[in-house]
């Protein structure tokens, strides 16, 4: 497996797995001060997004550890995170937080590259 693929999967785990855990454990009012989008959603929605990020981030690492598994962890995790990033970009556009869209699109590109590698 190419080193870049492994490195990107670990990076995505750090971003989504640990970042999602942060959003899952921090109080909503603390998150609302740091992230504009939190103010536009119910707390249960914010927590649900965090759970999705933790599960999919963990799926990125499971794909590395369980190479003989019949469950395509990388495909499922990558697709769900890509949908999440599309939703995040749309949300940031609607609320007028345009500077965050670049990060969403960058993560979307990395997720696409990891989920559907062109070098294989």
pLDDT digits 0-9 by tens, 49-90: 999 999 999 999 999 898 888 889 999 999 999 999 999 999
Dist. CA 81–CA 79, nearest whole Å: 5
Residue 54 domain-assigned (yes or no): yes
Residue 120 domain-assigned (yes or no): no
Residue 69 domain-assigned (yes or no): yes
What is the model's pLDDT at position 1?
A: 56
Residue 15 domain-assigned (yes or no): yes
Residue 110 domain-assigned (yes or no): yes
Contacts of 75 (CB under 8 A, 6+ apart): 115
Q: Which domain holds residue 66?
A: 3-115
Report helix, strand or coil for 42. coil
Residue 28 domain-assigned (yes or no): yes
Query: Taking Cα atoms as reference points, which of 24, 42, 40 lies closest to residue 100?
Result: 40
Dist. CA 81–CA 57, nearest whole Å: 8
Residue 98 domain-assigned (yes or no): yes
| Percentage with pLDDT > 90 across the chain | 83
Looking at the structure of the chain, the number of domains it has is 1
What is the model's pLDDT at position 39?
A: 94
Query: Taking Cα atoms as reference points, which of 115, 9, 8 lies closest to residue 65?
Result: 9
Instruction: Return mean pLDDT, the chain.
Output: 93
Burial readout 24-54 (b: 16 or more C-beta within 10 A, e: otherwise):
bebebeebbeeeebbeeeeeeebbebbebbb
Which pLDDT tens digit goes with each residue over 16-31? 999 999 999 999 999 9
Residue 45 domain-assigned (yes or no): yes
């Amino acid at each position: 497996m190419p080193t870049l693929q492994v490195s990107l999967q670990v990076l995505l785990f750090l971003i989504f797995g640990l970042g999602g855990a942060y959003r899952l454990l921090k109080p909503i009012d603390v998150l609302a001060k740091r992230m504009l989008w939190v103010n536009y959603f119910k707390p249960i929605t914010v927590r649900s997004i965090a759970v999705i990020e933790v599960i999919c981030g963990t799926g990125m690492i499971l794909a590395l550890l369980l190479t003989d598994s019949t469950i395509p962890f990388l495909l499922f995790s990558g697709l769900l995170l890509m949908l999440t990033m599309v939703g995040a970009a749309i949300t940031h556009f609607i609320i007028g937080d345009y500077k965050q869209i670049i990060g969403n699109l960058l993560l979307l590109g990395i997720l696409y590259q990891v989920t559907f590698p062109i070098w294989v």
